[in-house]
Amino acid sequence: MTEKYMDLKLEVTEKYIHLVVKGYDTYENSLSMWKQTVTLCNKENLFYVFGESFRVNPVSVLENISTYEIFKKAKVTNKFKIAWVDHNSETYDSTRVAETALINRGINYARLFKTKEEALNWLLSE
């Protein structure tokens, strides 16, 4: 196993795509994760995504700001609605920076939550 491994599981449910990611957060891993997610969403014609992160490393502010660029490259557009839970207390604040960077660029369809319940309530609300 390499130092910067990522384990990604994507599952189609009736109402959303469930994404679970473990391992290291890097630009390349994030881009790969979102490209795979977008491909599955397009195939299933299902654009609600519930993501759960169990990543092991907080990333820099600069890397988190690049989330906008990753979304553009992976073709994550406003047809998506993404609810994200970061289960690692050591990476949560870092992930919050990514959410703020997205919001500051007008992306309001991706949100970070502390619990699965909060995330799914928002995701599945009209």
**Residue 1 above 70 pLDDT?**
no
Share of the chain above pLDDT 90, in %: 86
Q: What is the pTM of this model?
A: 0.93
Averaged pLDDT of the chain: 94
With the CA atoms of 58, 102, 125 and 17 taken in that order, what torsion angle do they form, in degrees rounded to the nearest 10? -60
In the chain, what are the domains? 6-124 (3.30.750.24)
Of residues 119 and 65, more confidently modeled: 119
- Between CA 35 and CA 40 the distance in angstroms is 9
45-68, pLDDT tens digit by residue? 999 999 999 999 888 888 888 999
**Residue 22 above 60 pLDDT?**
yes
- Between CA 76 and CA 2 the distance in angstroms is 28
Please say whether the beta carbons of 118 and 86 come within 8 A.
no
- 112, β-bridge pairs: 84
**Residue 82 above 80 pLDDT?**
yes
